Structure 1
Amino acid sequence: MLANVLVVVIATGVLFLLPDPSAPPAPAPSHQAGALKKGEEPPPPAEPELPSAELPAPVTATPESARKVKANEAGLVPVIMYHRIVKKRQASIDRTPDQVRKEMERLAREGYVPITAREFATGRIGIPAGKHPVVLTFDDGHPSHFALDEAGMPVKDTAVGIIYQVAKKYPDFRPVATFWVNRQPFGLQSRADQARAVQWLTARGFEVANHTWSHPYLPGLSKQGIAEQLVRVERLLEKLGGSPSETLALPFGAMPRKRSTVQKGSWDGTRFSFKGVFLAGAQPSESPFTKKYDWRSIQRIQSNGKRGECRRWCSQYWLEWLAKHPEQRYTADGDPERISIPRKLRGNITSKRSGQVNAY
């Protein structure tokens, strides 16, 4: 928790005092109507060709197949946290498009396959055998995370644009991520534009979920104040055509003294309930199948280099550490119905998952 405060809360507090650098707009798509008959509607624009988020067909894992790929589904999973993506960094937690692109290309080369925070928290990890899950998360719904150009394609240097670029270059790099938003998703002003953004993302496998209405410091609010912050976002997402949030990212990574207030509750007749509550730092998460895993306070890693406080707590350090300790890393068996592990780790799996264990 101390590392979480040192690495993230101070830096994030500074971030919110800084002016928001200009970000790419999200213009509405355009198309040429051509010669239309009276009263005829113009055709919709052509759907852009983008890599699919569809997972490959699962296999049936056996002790032999698990041993062959050195499967360890009790291993650590990096959940990487991003904020603004800007050409000129103004806060320590800002990243440039080139930094984000290089980090994602490294993940792809090292065999990581993105899954959403929802998939992680619910244990739906259906990536290919021998691969490692990574959860790409973006806080605050910043304009640099998502915008479409006139052709209906993601703008190049936005988070979504970068993810698709890496997915085209590395076909095994599944193009999905989680965007935790506040009251103005992606900086869009109109509800119509917000709805278009949310529906575009969720239709392609991305997750858009709750980061509170106004990004307050939750330990300073009452139980009802917290519930209002969460419910207002849930109502917004429903209006925009999204689904109820199953995950929550805590603003500043700050957990209220009574943790249950951010797990489930209600306000003004509307209920909320999460299956994963995410912090803001500062180490890889435990596997969701292990006894050490706590869905109420899931660790994340800030995307950053190795300077200052980040020399031991941010993404460059941890990716290097996991590469040097591959036996500690989550490696998939390709079978979402089984949990493959070395026999010596059998005792690490929760009792409710014991029937799924495939030990070798």
Structure 2
Amino acid sequence: MPLLHKIAGVVIVCAVVLGLTLPGERQGRGEEGAAERAASKASPAAGAVEAGATTPAAGSGSPSVSPSAPIAAAAPAAAAVKANELGQIPVLMYHRIVKKPDRSLDRSVNELYDELTRLAKGGYQPITAAEFVSGRFNVPAGKYPVVLTFDDSSPDQFTLDAQGNPAPDTAVAIIQQVASENPGFRATATFFLVDDIFGMEDAQASAGLKWLLQHGYDVGNHTKSHPNLSGLSEKKVQDEIGALEDRVVQLSGANTATLAYPFGAVPGKEKWARKQDGRYSFEGIFLAGWRPSASPFDEEFDRWNIPRVRSEGKIKENDCTKFCSTAWLEHLDKNPAERYTSDGDPNTVTFPKTAEDRLAKEYRARARTY
């Protein structure tokens, strides 16, 4: 059995012990999770610039409302599409996109095209990681947000050709193609970068990052050298994250808003990764698996430990039978009440009255029920 699959098995065992849920179960946490949620409900630290996003940070601008105040009625159009903005959102995780996969995390060009086409025809609308953690994203009524994330900034994900366009068969070119074939499907994704940015020299990397940001894509931090942060000191953790952030700012002129832990490994103290004054300040941090994320408006949402779903089919050889993208997308299709369905208004949070107890209190002013 490949080493990565053995590691994945250990992760799943730990997930079960920690209370992570299988499809269809309510997501819950213990006392540590409650502490993290309390921290996550503080206003995002100033200074983090959302690459390619212009919306306010999560919860900002919402007036104070009494917890006992009645929630306003939903717009008829939102009720008609059965909006549920407390539902789950898939955050899909990709790595290399190649013609012939030879590593366990690879996806083929055809597999990416097929999965994106499935999302487009299934009513999903991509949003960026920065928009997701901000709590304000514009998804048409009745559609379902999905976050496409690509780790490690490999050349097969994005390269510009001689004419300054995404090179054929790269992830960006495939996203653009699917968007052109499916009107209304937004061409966007988030690329979690390491020091070798798409295999480009500095001048090319600068042009490439600016192209992505100007075309509505998003970039995030994945550390300089992709180490396991769980075994590093505070200084080394901050140097790894800070060095990559310095490079992105130098090349693009913009800070990142989100971080993805290499291997999904959390450092000894999570606060080391969240912020370093004058260098980086994130609004959300992503893990490596194994389930869709809670809505950013759900009281269970933990912006510092956002789960992702590995892109892969339901193969028998490993735990992707239950935990990868194909399985989860099938599950949400069969259980639409569990899925985040947009009300079409980024300024309101609409959901069925029966879900009111799940609403994070800071969003009560924006809440609408039916």
Is the alpha carbon distance of 1:281 and 1:103 closer, same or farther for their aligned partners in structure 2, counting shifts above 3 Å? same
AA partner of residue 287 (structure 1)? S
Q: Give the gaps of 5 or more residues in structure 1.
A: 11-52, 56-60
TM-score by length of 1: 0.82
Aligned residue among 129, 132, 136 for 2:141: 129
1:265 Cα deviation from its structure 2 partner: 2.1
AA partner of residue 296 (structure 1)? W
1:147 Cα deviation from its structure 2 partner: 1.0
AA partner of residue 299 (structure 1)? P
- Give the whole-Å Cα distance in 2 for the aligned partners of 1:9 and 1:108: 31
Secondary structure of the equivalent of 2:306?
coil
TM-score by length of 2: 0.80
- Give the whole-Å Cα distance in 1 for the aligned partners of 2:272 and 2:335: 37
Report % sequence identity.
45
In the alignment, what sits opposite 1:185? Answer: 197
Tell whether the 8 Å contact from 1:217 to 1:254 is kept in structure 2 after alignment.
yes
In the alignment, what sits opposite 1:231? Answer: 242
Question: Which aligned pairs between 1:69-108 and structure 2 lie closer than 5 A?
Answer: 69-108=81-120
Tell whether the 8 Å contact from 1:132 to 1:331 is kept in structure 2 after alignment.
yes
Deviation string, structure 1 residues 186-234 (Cα, Å, up to 9, x no partner): 011x211110000000011111121000000001110110000111111
Deviation string, structure 1 residues 124-155 (Cα, Å, up to 9, x no partner): 22111000000000000000010122222211
Tell whether the 8 Å contact from 1:8 to 1:280 is kept in structure 2 after alignment.
no
Tell whether the 8 Å contact from 2:237 to 2:267 is kept in structure 1 after alignment.
no
Is the alpha carbon distance of 1:54 and 1:334 closer, same or farther for their aligned partners in structure 2, counting shifts above 3 Å? farther
AA partner of residue 6 (structure 1)? A
Tell whether the 8 Å contact from 1:4 to 1:253 is kept in structure 2 after alignment.
no
Tell whether the 8 Å contact from 1:121 to 1:275 is kept in structure 2 after alignment.
yes
Moved over 4 A (4+): 7-10
1:274 Cα deviation from its structure 2 partner: 0.8
In the alignment, what sits opposite 1:280? Answer: 288
Higher mean C-alpha displacement, 112-121 vs 271-280: 271-280
- Give the whole-Å Cα distance in 2 for the aligned partners of 1:242 and 1:107: 32
- Give the whole-Å Cα distance in 2 for the aligned partners of 1:151 and 1:261: 42
Is 1:296 aligned with 2:304? yes
Q: Give the gaps of 5 or more residues in structure 2.
A: 13-52, 56-72
AA partner of residue 104 (structure 1)? L
* Residue correspondences, number: 307
AA partner of residue 226 (structure 2)? H
Tell whether the 8 Å contact from 2:231 to 2:268 is kept in structure 1 after alignment.
no
- Give the whole-Å Cα distance in 1 for the aligned partners of 2:305 and 2:54: 29
Is 1:222 aligned with 2:233? yes
- What is the Cα-based RMSD across aligned positions, in Å? 2.0
Is the alpha carbon distance of 1:7 and 1:149 closer, same or farther for their aligned partners in structure 2, counting shifts above 3 Å? farther
Aligned residue among 348, 351, 356 for 2:358: 348
